[in-house]
């Protein structure tokens, strides 16, 4: 038993941790936490691709709001999509109110009908729509900031699409056309 004048065992003189040891452990924990944050890429705000996707208007709304629309088919794992995202975000901010930018993730089953409808078999793929919601072209592959701005300018001005590799105009298919019924039955991913 301890006498009345002796200090209690919990002050750090006994088997418990003292103040100094607790501070060292806290500093080590903070250091490990900082190391973990640094190893995982730091304290970055949300990446441009995620931000664009989250802020993207609904596809059906964008096609009916009277503004031209760029629809990017992308995936989270797509390096080209991630590399193009900052330029796409800058262009979207610059054209806010005159052009809609919509992102559709090809890995989301919700967008499977659109993936099939627009024949997406590689990403990034950008579908281009006029202010009336009619498809006017397609861009395949990653685009630079200059190329994205040229596409946006053409859409907003209702002019011809720029001459860029991987960019082309689209035209509606007619079921009464010379291709016959077999062309209508064949989907964009079939090889028959």
Residue 13 has pLDDT above 80, yes or no: no
Compute how many other C-beta atoms are within 10 angstroms of the C-beta atom of residue 148. Answer: 25
Report the alpha-carbon distance of residue 192 to residue 189 in Å, rounded.
9
Distance CA 71, CA 63 (A): 10
Cβ atoms of residues 120 and 80 within 8 Å: no
pLDDT per position as a tens digit, 65-106: 999 999 999 999 999 999 999 999 999 999 999 999 999 999
Euclidean distance between the first and final Cα of the chain, in Å? 93
The encoded tokens of residue 12 equal 């750090």
Contacts of 165 (CB under 8 A, 6+ apart): 141
Helix (H/G/I), strand (E/B), else coil: 72: strand
What is the distance between the alpha carbons of residues 14 and 115, in angstroms, rounded to a whole number? Answer: 69
Q: pLDDT of 103-154, one tens digit each?
A: 999 999 999 999 999 999 899 999 999 999 999 999 999 999 999 999 999 9
Domains defined for the chain, CATH in brackets = 48-170 (3.40.30.10)
Residues 114-133 as b or e (16 or more Cβ within 10 Å = b): bbeebebeebbbbbbbebee
- Closest by CA to 100, choosing from 125, 124, 133, is 133
What is the rounded average pLDDT of the residues 16-29? Answer: 86
CA distance 128 to 152: 9
Average pLDDT of the chain to the nearest whole number: 80
If residue 153 lies in a helix (H) or strand (E), which one and from where to where?
helix 145-157
């Amino acid at each position: 038993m301890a006498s009345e004048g002796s200090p209690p065992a919990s002050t750090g003189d006994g088997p418990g941790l003292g103040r100094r040891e607790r501070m060292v452990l806290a500093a080590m924990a903070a250091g490990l936490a900082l190391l973990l944050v640094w190893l995982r890429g730091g304290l970055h705000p949300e990446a441009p691709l995620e931000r664009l996707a989250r802020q993207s208007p609904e596809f059906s709304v964008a096609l009916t709001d009277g503004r031209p629309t760029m629809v990017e088919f992308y995936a989270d794992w797509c390096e080209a999509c991630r590399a193009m995202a900052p330029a796409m975000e800058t262009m979207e901010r610059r054209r806010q109110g005159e052009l809609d930018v919509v992102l559709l993730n090809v890995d989301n089953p919700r967008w499977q009908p659109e993936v099939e409808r627009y024949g997406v078999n590689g990403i990034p793929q950008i579908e281009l729509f006029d202010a009336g919601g009619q498809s006017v072209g397609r861009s395949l592959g990653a685009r630079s900031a200059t190329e994205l701005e040229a596409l946006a300018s053409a859409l907003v001005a209702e002019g011809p699409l720029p001459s860029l590799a991987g960019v082309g105009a689209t035209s509606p298919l007619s079921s009464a056309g010379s291709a016959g019924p077999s062309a209508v039955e064949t989907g964009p991913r079939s090889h028959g």
